[in-house]
Amino acid sequence: MQATTCILFLCRRTQIGSRWEHRRTDGSGIADVVGQVVESVPPQRLVITFTGPDDEPADGPSRVAFDIEPYRDIVKLTVTHQNIDNQDYYDSAAIGWASVFANLKSLLETGNVLPQAPWEMHAELRAASMARNDPSHH
């Protein structure tokens, strides 16, 4: 099964069971996060599993639900990330999601992503997280 990159409903494949992965943009080809589509109700809801490519959490992978609903003249996006198994992963996910949505907001409002990657403000945490999935660091 071919992997697919998912960002909300911008997926090429949102069928239940479709694989997705988040690959680095540095040309290394390293996937830091992988998962499968668990639920898909376009354009209202997408639920995916979310884990490191070599992680096998005892309680299974975490799940991320994206719920999109109209709210008056705007759209409400609710992101729920569940089954996070430790504090380091929680901290990393919290910073990661804030960065993703800061960039998404800029893109939607201006047509451009932010001039600097927002996750660079948390360089030490990001470096530790990325090192876990980079074979050259093992």
Residue 100, Cβ density class (10 Å: 0-12 exposed, 13-18 middle, ≥19 buried): middle
| pLDDT tens by residue, 109-120 | 999 988 877 667
Closest CA to 17 of 46, 42, 38, 45: 38
- Which of 13-22, 82-91, 98-107, 126-135 is the least confident region? 126-135
For 17-28, give the DSSP string: T-EEEEE-SSSS
| pLDDT tens by residue, 55-106 | 888 889 999 999 999 999 998 999 999 999 888 888 888 888 888 888 888 9
State pTM to two decimals: 0.75
Q: What is the CATH number of domain 19-137?
A: 3.30.530.20
Structure tokens given for 22? 């988040």
How confident is the model over 7-21, as a mean pLDDT? 70
In the 8-state DSSP scheme, what is residue 5? -
